[in-house]
Amino acid sequence: MGNDANQVSGRALCRGDVTDKVCRICLENASREIIKECKSQEAIIWYELCQVHYSYRILSGMDAYAGKYPLWNNQEKNVSDPLSFYEVLNDLMGNLIIKAAYGPSKLMFGTDQVKFSRSDTIYGLVQCTRDQTVDSCSKCLNSALGDLKACCYGRGGGTIFSRSCNMRYGSTRFYDTPSVKGEWKTWMIVLVICVPTFAAAVLIGSCVLYYRGRTGTQNDEEKSQHALSHNLATPEFNLLSTQELPFMELATIRAATNDFSESNKLGHGGFGTVYKGVLPNGKEIAVKRLSKKSRQGIEEFKNEIILIAKLQHRNLVRLLGCATDGQEKLLIYEFMPNKSLDIFIFDADKRQQLNWEICHNIIDGIARGLLYLHEDSRLKIIHRDLKPNNVLLNHDMVAKISDFGMARIFGENQNAANTRRIVGT
């Protein structure tokens, strides 16, 4: 629509199992929300049942793949036998990719289920936008499957959204079947109508439940989310959603860390102090409190948010959320109970715990994390400051690389890089 500089193109997609009525309601709400919240030249909004994408350029099914991870991936329970589970899941998704890309249906959509054990079933769903060739659909979904393994290996459910294809699996049925059309369709309509009431931008089903649970300060919290979202409206941040990176109340973090008490202090870095915290639900977290005196604090904060929220892998430290209030800028990470590798290397007693199997797994984890950063992630990240105290260890001694948020960013032209930011020590 439009001409030359005023041209805009758009693309909408409803999930293949919804009715025309549900599709219309979802697209109407998504269109209103994206216009309200996104002021950039290109934006995309995902709901559970539909997505809307607009751009100043001509949209194409051949656009580069860039998958996104909704927050609910972090909330999925772990499975008891990850390797066997993934083998079954990989076969299921492989068959669905063939069905969606090369099957007789023009919807480029597929669902199916498979028994994992006597009592457990895996449900899967894949879909492509219909402006693609069958080969580009297959390529997009296979890229999504790779991302699904990176973000959700060992978990009982996971979702990947992208511009041109989506993929989801779970241990309970989340898509429509002919046997339950009445009740299921009603539920979907309610979900679609309710989302804009509670969501800030680019939010999907699970966030409705999250915001329903909030009390008192919900309006203030939503205002702070809007402000931060708009302040971070950089080209790199265009496709980053508030659903992927939840904003927490400062009061909650203060309570979790005992008001940043010295006894909760885990360490001090180049641009802030790290504290241990415990949320009301008992979840342990690590809170990085940026130094108020740091001249680069805001830029560092933006850089870590933009990068870490996009990069998710089982061998990278996971960013759970952030909080801001005036000069207070906080990043909330998953807590690593075994701290860092240097503690085990340089402590004679702890070093005895590093048998060959543990050492091999740590080395393998570091290598896998670096491979993801260097080759498999949507960005090309060179860490440039990898050392033992930047390798953290979880309860099972799984290695997780930290402090890659200040690393050099390589774009499509890998001979050119942004050299204005701190990248090492």
Q: Are residues 369 and 385 in the same domain?
A: yes
Q: Kindly report, residue by residue over 54-70, the tens digit of the pLDDT.
A: 887 777 655 556 667 67
Q: Kindly report, residue by residue over 257-292, the tens digit of the pLDDT.
A: 999 999 999 988 666 789 999 987 788 999 988 776
Pick the last residue of a domain from 111, 144, 175.
175
Name the residue with higher pLDDT: 59 or 29.
29
Q: Is 16 helix (H, G, I), strand (E, B) or coil?
A: coil
Q: In 153-233, where does DSSP find H-type helix? A: 181-198, 205-212, 218-231
With both helix axes pointing from N to C terminus, report the angle between 181-198 and 205-212 in degrees, rounded to the nearest 10: 60
Q: Are residues 374 and 313 in the same domain?
A: no
> Would you say residue 77 lies in a domain?
yes
* CATH, residue 266: 3.30.200.20
**pLDDT at residue 194 in the model:** 34
Give me the sign of the Cα torsion angle 42, 128, 306, 321. Answer: positive
C-alpha distances in Å from residue 203, one per residue of 25, 34, 384, 417: 16, 11, 34, 32
Pick the last residue of a domain from 175, 194, 211.
175
> Would you say residue 39 lies in a domain?
no
> Would you say residue 210 lies in a domain?
no
Between CA 411 and CA 401 the distance in angstroms is: 21
**pLDDT at residue 159 in the model:** 92
Q: Structural domain tally of the chain?
A: 3
> In the structure, what pLDDT confidence band is assigned to residue 132 with cuts at 50, 70 and 90?
confident
Q: Kindly report, residue by residue over 223-264, the tens digit of the pLDDT.
A: 233 333 333 334 333 334 444 456 677 888 999 999 999 999
Q: What are phi and psi of 66, to 5 degrees?
A: -150, 95
Between CA 170 and CA 121 the distance in angstroms is: 8
Q: Are residues 286 and 370 in the same domain?
A: no
Pick the last residue of a domain from 334, 351, 370.
334
- 385 a catalytic residue: yes
**pLDDT at residue 61 in the model:** 57
Q: Kindly report, residue by residue over 195-218, the tens digit of the pLDDT.
A: 333 333 333 322 222 222 233 333
Q: Is 289 helix (H, G, I), strand (E, B) or coil?
A: strand
400 annotated as ligand-binding = no
* CATH, residue 392: 1.10.510.10
Between CA 201 and CA 37 the distance in angstroms is: 6
Q: Are residues 305 and 369 in the same domain?
A: no
425: CB partners within 8 A, 6+ apart = 270, 385
> Would you say residue 52 lies in a domain?
no
> Would you say residue 421 lies in a domain?
no
> Would you say residue 326 lies in a domain?
yes
Q: Are residues 80 and 140 in the same domain?
A: yes
**pLDDT at residue 6 in the model:** 65
> In the structure, what pLDDT confidence band is assigned to residue 44 with cuts at 50, 70 and 90?
confident
pTM higher than 0.85: no
Q: Are residues 349 and 367 in the same domain?
A: yes
Q: Are residues 327 and 369 in the same domain?
A: no
- DSSP per-residue letters across 298-366: HHHHHHHHHHHHH---TTBPPEEEEEEETTEEEEEEE--TT-BHHHHHH-HHHHTT--HHHHHHHHHHH
Active-site annotation holder among 4, 147, 385, 396: 385
C-alpha distances in Å from residue 416, one per residue of 80, 247, 380, 404, 412: 45, 33, 12, 19, 9
> Would you say residue 131 lies in a domain?
yes
Note down the domain range covering 378.
341-410
Measured between its terminal Cα atoms, the distance across the chain in Å is 50
> Would you say residue 144 lies in a domain?
yes
**pLDDT at residue 198 in the model:** 30
